[in-house]
Chains A and B, each alone.
Chain A
Amino acid sequence: MADAGMLRFHVPEPEVRPGGTPDFSNVPIPKAGSVPRPDIDVDPRTIRDYAFSIIRVLNRNGEAVGPWAGLLSSGELLAGLRHMMTLRTFDARMQMAQRQGKTSFYMQHLGEEAVACAFRKALAPGDMNFPTYRQAGLLIADGYPMVTMMNQIYSNEADPLKGRQLPIMYSSKEHGFFSISGNLATQYIQAVGWAMASAISNDSKIAAAWIGDGSTAESDFHSALVFASTYKAPVVLNVVNNQWAISTFQGIARGGSGTFAARGLGFGIPSLRVDGNDYLAVHAVAKWAAERARSNLGPTLVEYVTYRAGAHSSSDDPSAYRPKTESDAWPLGDPIVRLKNHLIQLGVWSDERHAQAEAEILDTVIAAQKEAESHGTLHAGGKPSTRDMFEGLYAEMPPHLRRQRQQAGV
């Protein structure tokens, strides 16, 4: 055997660092409309190449083209645009509230609004999402009250979670939004279990699991794929690839080749990639995967290709690890601008109406914010009682907690 020499350790690096010129020329972007739309009962083995392409509907001219187009009315699209605009405005106000010291922490969705907002519309009442901390669009698109979200962010006296949870870790069974945990990926396998329970109960409800690109490296991602594959659970396994896990580029989780969607192939799970900044494409693929699950055809893995345009959180400064203008160079653009242009192209929207809608939405969000702040913010006004800290851990308070509550003087 030839002498191979010393081994060399490989650590992937992003193409560009701060000070460099953003360059996504190596990211292949297929033309809108170029990926076929198979029947939901397609043999997964025949669509393996879908895991390496990108399903897109909106082209550069704002036209909806190809086999994944035509599923939504202009009224539904206008509603979708409003949801995305509301989420962006909500984010901006809450980010500002964090800077003003009204809350300790916030995480924005900037650039990713289409993913959760469009996905929500593919689900039926009773279905359950197992979201991460970056899918508040599921709540906005389902009409969950913004005031309640803000109450949670402010940990005030009206906080439905009684001040126990970090801001943005919402929970709403009624709105099909499972309680968010700080522990990454744990919800992915729980979603599969929920879906298994629905099948065990001969129900018609499905589950949707959510995870980011970085967290696919967690072992619960693997657990979820094994269980979903073994039991053909009615679950949509969503991977939101926004290119970044805090400061870590997606190549650290993914390795040097392949895609996150391709991870599903080894489990026999049909796996699709979709343009995450294309509201129509996200919705069409979500609907396809949801119908597969509801038809007892089993799980689907969907990778949403998008870009985390904002900082990771209110505690993060992305200029320390990536070029400041990188989001401008992102080839899939901005989801709101793209849907707006499509609606203008359809003749049902205009720049004027858009500006007017922006102003209306800002008024609505500010009104909600005022109402929420009337219930208190983290350091001022009404807040949950110290008693609430001891309540609700168990269905019935055990003696040792009763003693501690008494010691705390409540």
Chain B
Amino acid sequence: MPRRTMIEAIRDAMDVSMGRDDKVVVFGEDVGFFGGVFRCTQGLQAKYGKSRCFDAPINESGIVGSAIGMAAYGLKPCVEIQFADYMYPAYDQLTQEAARLRYRSNGDFTCPIVVRMPTGGGIFGGQTHSQSPEALFTHVSGLKTVVPSNPHDAKGLLIAAIEDPDPVIFLEPKRLYNGPFDGHHDRPVTPWSKHELGEVADGHYTVPLGKAAIRRPGSAVTVLAYGTMVYVAQAAVAETGIDAEIIDLRTLLPLDLDAIVASVKKTGRCVIVHEATLTSGFGAELSALVQENCFYHLEAPVARVAGWDTPYPHAQEWDYFPGPARVGRALLETMGA
């Protein structure tokens, strides 16, 4: 099976979708001729023409707002916001319009759009190239929120998102674009070509939205993670020697609660890891759900390892980014060690 980077997998997902359905259109800033600042749309304009893949003005509200209009017409826009940090001008369109169109019109109009956004830190991106705003989407009824962690999932989830009849926020951890990253910034990065999840089948396949994946089965503690933190958790587990079960949530909303509950009931312990800031982050929702659903099985408080409640700094990158040492400490504490 061919191996692809996450960039190539995402591009392949759009290529496959555009080839299968001429209603799929792709646009955003620098997305057309140039192929995107991360190369995710390279070659699509040449292959499908300017009416299917095109450059947009620097106007995030305009990109999402026009995509909503296109969806109301009957197209399936898959648009790009260059960095998740720049989605805020489009937040009104996403939360008040895309999320609610089906509900408020009782299905008279629908909004099958995908909004792709590179997300996350670990790249010295500073305050506006590192944010993880997923909690601002999971709090919005009517949206679906997806965060892939590897090329195989990225392609399958993106095709599923494009085919989904509802608006999907598709957050791409840019730290994982070229290879998995476990937080050990002092070590060389392994490319996806050397990782089994870099195996990406040609053609059409989907990874269903709303289904988590168990990355490492274990019996001692459940780790809930997504995006880059899946690899950080794996490193922390390897370094502490704790027999943790690592769940890659993949879709945050709808959430695979069954998988979470089954795991925590088995292990009796839970550590939640995300890059986003702690307070009111998605980890708070996960923690509440685990507490509500697994209270009598819990043998330790649910722990959260997250970004600090500060803007994402530049020079202090590795003091901010929740690396394997911090996750490892949380695992040991949760185990009572």
Query: What separation, in Å, do the CA atoms of A195 and B70 have in the docked complex?
Result: 8
Q: Which one of B65, B69, B89, B106 contacts A195 once the chains associate, using CB atoms below 8 Å?
A: B69
Q: Shortest distance in angstroms between B199's beta carbon and chain A's nearest beta carbon?
A: 30
Q: Is the CB of B109 within 8 A of A392?
A: no
- Contacting chain B: which of A170-178, A248-256, A292-300? A170-178
Q: Which one of A190, A224, A395 contacts B166 once the chains associate, using CB atoms below 8 Å?
A: A395
The verdict on B225 contacting chain A, using a C-beta distance below 8 Å, is: no
Q: Which residues of A contact B166 (CB under 8 A)?
A: 394-395
Q: Which residues of B contact A313 (CB under 8 A)?
A: none
The verdict on B159 contacting chain A, using a C-beta distance below 8 Å, is: no
Bitwise interface map of A from 209 to 249 toward B, beta carbon under 8 Å scored 1, else 0: 00000000001101110110010000000000000000000
- Contacting chain B: which of A41-49, A99-107, A114-122, A156-164? A156-164
Q: Shortest distance in angstroms between B124's beta carbon and chain A's nearest beta carbon?
A: 31
Bitwise interface map of B from 65 to 82 toward A, beta carbon under 8 Å scored 1, else 0: 111111011110000000
Q: Which residues of B contact A392 (CB under 8 A)?
A: 102-103, 106-107
Q: Which residues of A contact B108 (CB under 8 A)?
A: 160, 171-173, 179
Q: Is the CB of B25 within 8 A of A200?
A: yes
Q: Which residues of B contact A186 (CB under 8 A)?
A: 65, 92-93, 96-97
Q: Which residues of A contact B287 (CB under 8 A)?
A: none
Within 8 A of B (CB), among A150-204: 160-162, 164-165, 169, 171-173, 178-179, 181-183, 186, 188-201
Chain A residue at minimal CB-CB distance from B58: A226
Q: Is the CB of B97 within 8 A of A171?
A: no
Chain A residue at minimal CB-CB distance from B27: A196
Query: What separation, in Å, do the CA atoms of A191 and B74 have in the docked complex?
Result: 13
Within 8 A of A (CB), among B127-157: 141-142, 144
Q: Is the CB of B59 within 8 A of A164?
A: no
Chain A residue at minimal CB-CB distance from B25: A200
Q: Which residues of A contact B258 (CB under 8 A)?
A: 399
The verdict on B43 contacting chain A, using a C-beta distance below 8 Å, is: no
Query: What separation, in Å, do the CA atoms of A161 and B56 have in the docked complex?
Result: 34
Query: What separation, in Å, do the CA atoms of A192 and B67 have in the docked complex?
Result: 9
Q: Is the CB of B89 within 8 A of A190?
A: no
Query: What separation, in Å, do the CA atoms of A191 and B97 have in the docked complex?
Result: 13
Q: Is the CB of B69 within 8 A of A201?
A: no
Query: What separation, in Å, do the CA atoms of A191 and B165 have in the docked complex?
Result: 20
Q: Shortest distance in angstroms between A41's beta carbon and chain B's nearest beta carbon?
A: 23
- Contacting chain A: which of B114-122, B184-192, B231-239, B249-257? B249-257
The verdict on A8 contacting chain B, using a C-beta distance below 8 Å, is: no
Bitwise interface map of B from 101 to 113 toward A, beta carbon under 8 Å scored 1, else 0: 1111111111000
Summed over the interface, the residue pairs from A and B with CB atoms below 8 Å come to a total of 147
Q: Which residues of A contact B59 (CB under 8 A)?
A: 222-223, 226-227
Q: Is the CB of B104 within 8 A of A183?
A: no
Most chain B CB within 10 A, of A161, A190, A197, is at A190
Q: Which residues of B contact A194 (CB under 8 A)?
A: 69-70, 72-73
Query: What separation, in Å, do the CA atoms of A183 and B258 have in the docked complex?
Result: 37
The verdict on B310 contacting chain A, using a C-beta distance below 8 Å, is: no
Q: Is the CB of A164 within 8 A of B104?
A: yes
Q: Is the CB of B142 within 8 A of A394?
A: yes
The verdict on B240 contacting chain A, using a C-beta distance below 8 Å, is: no
Q: Is the CB of B102 within 8 A of A393?
A: yes
Query: What separation, in Å, do the CA atoms of A214 and B140 have in the docked complex?
Result: 28
The verdict on B218 contacting chain A, using a C-beta distance below 8 Å, is: no
Q: Shortest distance in angstroms between B102's beta carbon and chain A's nearest beta carbon?
A: 6
Q: Is the CB of A189 within 8 A of B51?
A: no
Given A173-B109, A181-B97, A186-B96: A193 and B104 interface contact (C-beta under 8 Å): no
Query: What separation, in Å, do the CA atoms of A71 and B250 have in the docked complex?
Result: 60
Q: Shortest distance in angstroms between A208's beta carbon and chain B's nearest beta carbon?
A: 12
Given A186-B92, A219-B61: A207 and B104 interface contact (C-beta under 8 Å): no
Chain B residue at minimal CB-CB distance from A384: B106
The verdict on B210 contacting chain A, using a C-beta distance below 8 Å, is: yes
Q: Is the CB of B104 within 8 A of A171?
A: yes
The verdict on A332 contacting chain B, using a C-beta distance below 8 Å, is: no
The verdict on B62 contacting chain A, using a C-beta distance below 8 Å, is: yes
Q: Is the CB of A178 within 8 A of B142?
A: no
Q: Which one of A173, A189, A395 contacts B66 once the chains associate, using CB atoms below 8 Å?
A: A189
Q: Shortest distance in angstroms between B47's beta carbon and chain A's nearest beta carbon?
A: 16
Q: Which one of B56, B65, B72, B107 contacts A178 once the chains associate, using CB atoms below 8 Å?
A: B72
Q: Shortest distance in angstroms between A221's beta carbon and chain B's nearest beta carbon?
A: 11
Q: Is the CB of A183 within 8 A of B92?
A: yes
Given A173-B109, A392-B106: A189 and B89 interface contact (C-beta under 8 Å): no
Given A164-B103, A219-B61: A395 and B92 interface contact (C-beta under 8 Å): no
Query: What separation, in Å, do the CA atoms of A173 and B72 have in the docked complex?
Result: 9
Query: What separation, in Å, do the CA atoms of A171 and B258 have in the docked complex?
Result: 37
Given A183-B97, A398-B254: A193 and B67 interface contact (C-beta under 8 Å): yes
Q: Which residues of A contact B65 (CB under 8 A)?
A: 186, 188-190, 192-193, 220, 223-224
The verdict on B336 contacting chain A, using a C-beta distance below 8 Å, is: no
Query: What separation, in Å, do the CA atoms of A82 and B96 have in the docked complex?
Result: 36
Most chain A CB within 10 A, of B69, B96, B97, is at B69
Given A179-B109, A220-B61, A223-B61: A169 and B104 interface contact (C-beta under 8 Å): yes
Q: Which one of B25, B109, B210 contacts A171 once the chains associate, using CB atoms below 8 Å?
A: B109
Q: Which one of A182, A207, A394 contacts B69 once the chains associate, using CB atoms below 8 Å?
A: A207
The verdict on A128 contacting chain B, using a C-beta distance below 8 Å, is: yes
Most chain B CB within 10 A, of A172, A189, A193, is at A193
The verdict on A279 contacting chain B, using a C-beta distance below 8 Å, is: no
Q: Which residues of A contact B89 (CB under 8 A)?
A: 219
Q: Which residues of B contact A193 (CB under 8 A)?
A: 65-70, 72-73
- The 7 residue pairs across chains A and B that have the minimum distance between CB atoms: A193-B69, A193-B66, A189-B65, A223-B62, A197-B73, A398-B254, A190-B69
A-B contact pairs, 25 of them (CB 8 A): A160-B108, A164-B106, A169-B104, A173-B108, A179-B104, A186-B93, A189-B69, A190-B97, A191-B69, A193-B67, A193-B73, A195-B69, A196-B69, A197-B74, A201-B73, A207-B69, A223-B62, A223-B66, A224-B65, A230-B57, A393-B142, A394-B144, A395-B166, A398-B253, A400-B257
- Residues of chain A touching chain B, judged by Cβ–Cβ distance below 8 Å, are 128, 130, 160-162, 164-165, 169, 171-173, 178-179, 181-183, 186, 188-201, 207, 219-220, 222-224, 226-227, 230, 392-395, 398-400
- Residues of chain B touching chain A, judged by Cβ–Cβ distance below 8 Å, are 25, 51-52, 56-57, 59, 61-62, 65-70, 72-75, 89, 92-93, 96-97, 100-110, 141-142, 144, 164-166, 210, 253-255, 257-258
* Known pairs A191-B69, A226-B59 / 7 extra A-B pairs, C-beta < 8 Å: A171-B105, A178-B109, A179-B104, A192-B69, A219-B89, A222-B59, A224-B62
